[in-house]
Amino acid sequence: MKEASEHDSWSVGQSYDHYMGRWSRLIAKEFLNWQNIPKYARWADIGCGTGALTRTILDHADPASVVGVDPSEGFIAHARKEIADERATFEIGDAQDIPVPDNTVDVAASALVLNFVPDKPRAIGEMQRITRPGGTVSFYVWDYPGGGMGFIDTFWKAAATLDPAARKLDEADRFPFCTPEGLERLCREANIQGVTVKALEVDTVFPDFEAFWHPFTLGAGPAPGYCMSLSTSNRERLRKRLEELLGGENEIRLTARAWAVSMTNI
Ligand SMILES: C[S@@+](CC[C@H](N)C(=O)[O-])C[C@H]1O[C@@H](n2cnc3c(N)ncnc32)[C@H](O)[C@@H]1O
């Protein structure tokens, strides 16, 4: 099992939005409903990417401010361009060394990021550092090991039938900690007690097979990165295999489940 992959490409905002951002915005809404944070809170969105969670916070949580942090210059440029709101600022930076002063936010949240961070306890410690005592530290990751990210799980299972090497690129294999037990274990490693873990779910609906397939050809993210690394003929074989599995014309409806963790900062 290997956490980092050469196919983890995060840079082109529009491609990411089409592949993942539109679903991460839906799950962000579920997350906010669950968190129910009072108005006028100061938020940090760690690993903000193109700003899916930041946008959702601005639209639905009435924040005083949101600072989004991500190492991808391309994503930060996209977020700055798309989110023109005086309450929002964006910084290039890493979850393991967050460029935000101590005790300056009420909520530090991180959406679908922790699995890509090499030192996860350190990232959680950084989120605690920037959050005031009594504030909230929370994060969520897709349920890769449980097959809860249906469209990605379907992609990798089909890819593995054609290319055994694809199996070790599957996020289910790379990120086994993305389960309730794994997340609780991670929190214990980070010396945190009393966390709450919750499943968040939305439907991912594709009107037909082409709508399902197209985002995999855009290159942003592990599965699209792998897809575009294939030769044209191998990519076509994979496309056909998936089409056989899912059907060509009918609507494709799959579940996207994330495990969310929340704790009060001490
Ligand atoms: C699946 S995307 C999630 C983006 C966004 N939070 C959302 O909900 O759509 C993963 C993000 O993690 C970011 N990332 C990867 N390694 C990181 C690190 N060490 N620190 C902070 N962010 C990181 C990537 O640049 C990318 O934007």
Structure confidence by residue, pLDDT tens digits, 89-136: 999 999 999 999 999 999 999 999 999 999 999 999 999 999 999 999
Atom of ligand 1 nearest to the CA of 94: 20
pLDDT at 212: 97
For tokens 């274990």, the residue is 185
Among candidate residues 101, 84, 16, the one with its CA nearest the CA of residue 50: 16
| Mean pLDDT of the residues in the chain | 94
User: What per-residue confidence (pLDDT) applies to 12?
Assistant: 64
User: Which of 8, 10, 91 maximizes ligand 1 atoms within 8 Å of its Cβ, making it the mutation to test the pocket?
Assistant: 10
Ligand 1, from 12, 113, 117, 149: best to mutate by most atoms within 8 Å of Cβ? Answer: 113
10: pLDDT confidence band, cut at 50, 70 and 90? low
Q: In one letter, which amino acid is 57?
A: I
Does the pLDDT at position 11 exceed 80?
A: no
CA of 70 to the centre of ligand 1 (A): 6
The model's confidence at residue 72, banded by pLDDT at 50, 70 and 90, is very high
- Segment (H or E) for 172: helix 171-174
Q: Could you give the CA distance from residue 171 to residue 149 in angstroms, rounded to a whole number?
A: 10
Unique residue bearing structure tokens 């929340």: 262
Question: Is the pLDDT score of 13 beyond 70?
Answer: no
Q: Which of 70, 94, 204, 218 to mutate to test the pocket of ligand 1 (most atoms within 8 A of CB)?
A: 70
| pLDDT for position 34 | 97
Averaged pLDDT, 33-61: 97
Averaged pLDDT, 153-169: 96
The structural domains of the chain, with segments of one domain joined by +, span 13-264
Say yes or no: CB of residue 143 within 6 Å of ligand 1: no
Is the CB of 111 inside a 6 Å radius of any atom of ligand 1? yes
Residue 66 Cβ contacting ligand 1 at under 6 Å: no
CATH tag for 13-264 (out of 3.40.30.10, 3.90.960.10, 3.40.640.10, 3.40.50.150): 3.40.50.150
- Please state, for a pLDDT cut of 70, what percent of the chain lies above it: 95
DSSP alpha helix (H) spans, 63-109: 73-82
pLDDT of residue 18: 87
Q: How far apart are CA 117 and CA 92, in angstroms?
A: 15
Spacing, Cα 245 to ligand 1 middle (Å): 30
The closest residue, in CA terms, to atom 14 on ligand 1 is 47
* Mean pLDDT value across residues 167-195: 93
| Strand spans (E) along the chain | 42-46, 65-70, 88-92, 105-111, 131-142, 196-206, 252-264
